[in-house]
Amino acid sequence: MQYLHTMVRVSDLEASLYFYCDLLGMIEISRKESEKGRFTLVFLAAPEDELAAREDRAPMLELTHNWDPEAYTGGRNFGHLAYRVNDIYALCERLQAGGVTINRPPRDGHMAFVKSPDGISVELLQAGEPLPPKTPWSEMDNHGTW
């Protein structure tokens, strides 16, 4: 068995690509548009998974954008996406500067949670050992749910 991808439906493809690519740093691997099916599929990979994604088509995140408006209600039964990151503080600073709420700040230098424009929880985990606690993160409260 091999893990291939996780699919999430997105209501605003451009906002989602801004979040996942520009802010989180993921890379677009491929895109497929279907006029007949009225949808766009965009496959993304984390930078360190790019070669495997291009060669093996895995592991990836599939963004599915249905062209006809549809309201997506998030359920906690989905859980979250998780990514190992090189510098959790720097990434959270970039996300916050891009208008993203840090729902669970990286107070411990190890873990944070944010949400995509469609309310998908994304867990960020520091690679290796946790970074030393750092202000303002160490004093921040949680916001909302994740």
Q: Please state the three-class secondary structure of 2-39 as a single string.
A: CCCEEEEECCCHHHHHHHHHHHCCCEEEEEEEECCCCE
pLDDT digits (tens, 9 = 90+) for 46-101: 999 999 999 999 999 999 999 998 887 766 557 789 899 999 999 999 999 999 99
Ordered structural domains, the chain, with CATH: 5-66 (3.10.180.10), 86-139 (no CATH)
Q: Is 138 helix (H, G, I), strand (E, B) or coil?
A: helix
Catalytic residue selected from 50, 62, 93, 123: 123
Cα gap 45→21, rounded to integer Å: 9
The model's pTM is 0.83
Is 123 labeled as catalytic in the residue annotation?
A: yes
Per-residue CA distances from 98 to 35, 41, 114, 139 (Å): 32, 24, 12, 21
The Cα–Cα gap between 35 and 45 comes to 25
Q: Residue 80's pLDDT is what?
A: 86
With beta carbons less than 8 A apart as the criterion, state whether 60 and 53 touch: yes
